[in-house]
Structure 1
Amino acid sequence: MSRPHAHVRTAVVWEILREALEERAEAAGRETLEVLDTGGGTGNFAVPVARLGHRVTVVDPSPDALFALERRAAEEDVADRVRGVQGDAHGLFDVAERGGYDVVLCHGVLEYVDDPAEGLRNAAAALRPRGGTLSVLVAGLGGAVLARALAGHFTEAQRALTDPDGRWGGGDPMPRRFTAEQLTELVAGSGLEVGAVHGVRVFADLVPGALVDTEPGAPEALARLEEAVAELPAFRSVAAQLHVLARTR
């Protein structure tokens, strides 16, 4: 199965998620899984997951994003397997079923919610009691510090290190960032068993786009490099994003 849009920035997470879906389907003895994508927006992951044959419910607060999701699902001929509903992590069970999903995606959500711990507890509660899988993707603190330093903004890089939310200043568009330790503590606190922790976009945000676009074979080579370092702590600590897989006990 090809990666969504063959995009280097999503390559690591997509490969991990695809394998997790295969394992969960085999364990459940079913080809079709019920998947919940919280904050799924326009369907960057929901539509490819549906192409694998699974049913996906996308919860997002933006009606515009949900409209784009509907159009995208129709274009990809998976409209019968993708359902979009307006809502957010705080009121998740106003629009989603508690304990009703084999897999829950929580990508790019915890940075924006008022209470990340509550958001994770709700995501965990949406999983089936035994064997459910949670995929969490957040902005990483180390990657932001490295990026600001390489751009010559040394004071901002240091400020991000000491700020409680990992922000480098008033102009920072990201409300919150996490270290791997903070993220795994949150996931464990939701009652789930933490699996592998991955660094995502270690190099992809730092390499000039023109170089990747013009060098033959560069996108795939960069994707392979990202996959090779994803679980190495030294590289994970400077990744732009952090990814965790967790399971219900």
Structure 2
Amino acid sequence: MSDPMRPRASLRTAVVWDVLKDALDQRVKTTGRDVLDVLDTGGGSGNFAVPAAHLGHRVTVVDPSPDALFALERRAAEAGVEDRVKGVQGDAHGLFDVAERDSFDVVLCHGVLEYVDDPAVGVRNAIGALRPSGVLSLLAAGLGGAVLARALAGHFTEARRALGDPAGRWGDSDPVPRRFTADQLTGLVTAAGLRVDAVHGVRIFADLVPGVLVDTEPGALEALLKLEAAAAEQPAFHSVATQLHVLGTRQDAA
């Protein structure tokens, strides 16, 4: 079966999926169980949930949007994994109204912290849903990537405003309520009891390279994917990434 995260449209998520797939495989080896329980909070229409289910895992998606959950149900059915994907309406702050504590091998918290009222609570809840030694995959908007993008677009005042704004916003019309540096994200997760195993820069180049170049130049897509993967773990590039990814392990003893 072909990797469902590799088409052109998946360019922006390929690095995260590769890291997550490796983490799932490692968790299988660690637990000795072929089927893991995965929680995807804020999982929307299943960009990661459906591929995880393709690997044979049970995935619960918690999302506040009924439309997203409907799209998830349809997508899972089309992929033939509807028996392994469950959608539940809810959010990160009220996570334990719809999901049990200490019950999941892997928790995904992607694109959530930008929008919650209190990111620290969101992180604590995500970690609280993990079983001992469970794995958290955290993905959030990066400050540096937004500053760079505004500057390259010629919006220098907005770039400077984002650079100095506590929430990393470039203006009142900015659609993203909050952005983070790598230090801010790792600080949040370590304060909540997570051991940080890796930090990745995501969409370091993908948002800056003209789409026509990737689509028309032979081999350009695969070369760009390899470049993104090579730069992802290098701290020098974290400060210009559009998104930041933290992978960590819950530290309490089993």
- Give the TM-score of the pair, scaled to structure 2: 0.96
Displacement of 1:23: 0.3
CA contact (8 A) 1:37 1:57 kept: yes
For 2:241, the equivalent position in structure 1 comes to 239
Which of 123, 132, 137 is 2:139 aligned to? 137
CA contact (8 A) 1:3 1:10 kept: no
Matches within 5 A, 1:30-45: 30-45=33-48
CA contact (8 A) 2:145 2:243 kept: yes
CA–CA distance in 1 between the matches of 2:185 and 2:89? 26
Which of 25, 28, 45 is 1:25 aligned to? 28
Root-mean-square deviation over aligned CA pairs: 0.8
SS of alignment partner, residue 144 of structure 2: helix
SS of alignment partner, residue 136 of structure 1: strand
For 2:163, the equivalent position in structure 1 comes to 161
Name the stretch that deviates more: 199-208 or 6-15. 6-15
For 1:201, the equivalent position in structure 2 comes to 203
CA–CA distance in 2 between the matches of 1:193 and 1:165? 25
CA–CA distance in 2 between the matches of 1:44 and 1:5? 12
Stretches of structure 1 lacking an aligned partner (at least 5 in a row): none
Please state if 1:218 is matched with 2:192. no
Number of residue pairs matched by the alignment:
248
Displacement of 1:18: 0.3
Displacement of 1:228: 0.3
Please state if 1:125 is matched with 2:128. yes
Displacement of 1:3: 4.9
CA contact (8 A) 2:197 2:249 kept: yes
CA–CA distance in 2 between the matches of 1:108 and 1:191? 21
CA–CA distance in 1 between the matches of 2:218 and 2:98? 46
CA–CA distance in 1 between the matches of 2:228 and 2:157? 28
User: What amino acid does structure 1 have at the position aligned with 2:196?
Assistant: V
CA contact (8 A) 2:196 2:247 kept: yes
CA–CA distance in 2 between the matches of 1:51 and 1:119? 27
Structure 1 vs Structure 2: percent identity of aligned residues? 73
